[in-house]
Amino acid sequence: MSYDVIDLNTTDDAMEHVFAHTALLHWAESLLLKVGVPEQRARVIADSLVVAELKGIGSHGLSRLGIYVERLKCGLVDANAELTTIYETASTLVLDAQNGFGHPAASEAVEMAIAKARLSGACAAAIRNSTHFGRAGYFAEAAARQGFIAIVTTNSAARMAPWGGKEAAFGTNPLAVGVPGELEPIVLDMSTSAAALGKIVLAEKAGTSIPENWAQDREGRPTTDPKLALEGSLTPIAGPKGSGLALVLDILSGLLSGAKFGRDVGSLYRDFTQPEGCGHFLIVLDVRAFMPIDLFTQSITAYARQIKAITPVANERPVLLPGELEQQCEARSRKVGIRLQHAIYQELIELSEAHGIDFPAPLTKAQPSAIV
């Protein structure tokens, strides 16, 4: 890979939190190995978190590592659990993650579903007894890169109230769709909440207010006070639409898989009395069961051109395909490094020291060999 000198218009001092993604990947993998995660799984978890950082999605990046390690040490996750098949047909899989890490479970499920879809054209897989799996888009993209369309979702601890209700009933259940593209895949990855919980936590720490449509207080009233919002619940996107979407995604991920669902899903951060027990759900479609792959590639290229030909509202901001902004960020970060927020950097340093692992040195402007 070519290397560009980092162009942040800064001195070396300001580079202190910029790292080569390869160095962060190696570090995260080493840390997971140290706490007993088998090698291949450590690689998947580390890769998912570092790819999130590359794409500029820090909410699903290395800041998650601390809680994963903490729950593992508390015995709330089994690093050695084997993903087992409970039931299968030609085009369906019911899998049990047996309380292992969600990332490798979902990753393996995607490959199993692809193997079935190669034979039968389509496969749906439901995974029970799992844990936080990071970005849903990670798995949708993995399938798309192999020529498959994938729909991926998961449930999570209740933080969002159903439309017209006061208390949280389901998670901010995301929906990801990956489609093979001409060069890069098209990857939609959206939560069903108006805003991420993390943004409200940040506003509370900063003492700022939040927009009115992000959350409601305990009485179901819209609030701009992040403290009241955190005591209350998140607002779904588009009112009853987002609420209904989160609900059916919970049914697919949680109920249909035989996992926990609704208010019973354990919280990653707030509940140390039980495993999360969440569920994932995915559908994989073999493009070749619908049309020759060449024709599909031609069509998707034509589709992308149509969208890119739309006149932008702001001249300097062309219309983008789903996932394209993140791909641009990733391409740049692979060359110039990943900049960690100071608070995250501190967390990772502490985690590193606590486990006797060297944290990588930051990049410098004069260090072209850091990324290869």
Look-up of token digits 């509370």: 204
Closest distance to a copy of itself from the beta carbon of 123 (Å): 7
Token couple for 134: 């990071």
- Does 50 bind a copy of itself (CB under 8 A)? Our answer is no
Rounded Cα distance between 75 and 91, Å, is: 34
CB < 8 Å & 24+ apart, contacts of 76-80 = 76/272, 76/274, 76/275, 76/276, 77/101, 77/131, 77/275, 79/35, 79/36, 79/37, 79/38, 79/41, 80/36, 80/38
Adjacent-strand bridge partners of 95: 85, 127
Closest distance to a copy of itself from the beta carbon of 53 (Å): 21
Closest distance to a copy of itself from the beta carbon of 7 (Å): 25
* Residues 296 to 325 in contact with a copy of itself, rule: CB under 8 A: 296, 299-300, 303, 306-307, 310-314, 317-322
Distances in Å between the Cα of 83 and the Cα atoms of 12, 124, 127, 146, 206 are 46, 16, 9, 22, 42
Kindly name the residue from 21, 60, 103, 132 that is annotated as catalytic.
Answer: 132
Closest distance to a copy of itself from the beta carbon of 168 (Å): 9
Closer residue to a copy of itself in complex, CB, 284/340 = 284
- The four Cα atoms 337, 40, 73, 258 give a dihedral, to 10 degrees, of 110
* Residues 217 to 276 in contact with a copy of itself, rule: CB under 8 A: 219-221, 237-238, 240-242, 244-245, 247-248, 250-252, 255-258, 261-263
Site pattern 59..98 for a copy of itself (x: CB under 8 A): ----------------------------x-xxxx-x----
* Residues 150 to 209 in contact with a copy of itself, rule: CB under 8 A: 161-167, 169, 175, 177, 179, 186, 188, 190, 194
- The four Cα atoms 10, 14, 17, 20 give a dihedral, to 10 degrees, of 30
Site pattern 113..142 for a copy of itself (x: CB under 8 A): ----x-xxxxxx-x----------------
Active site residue 132: yes
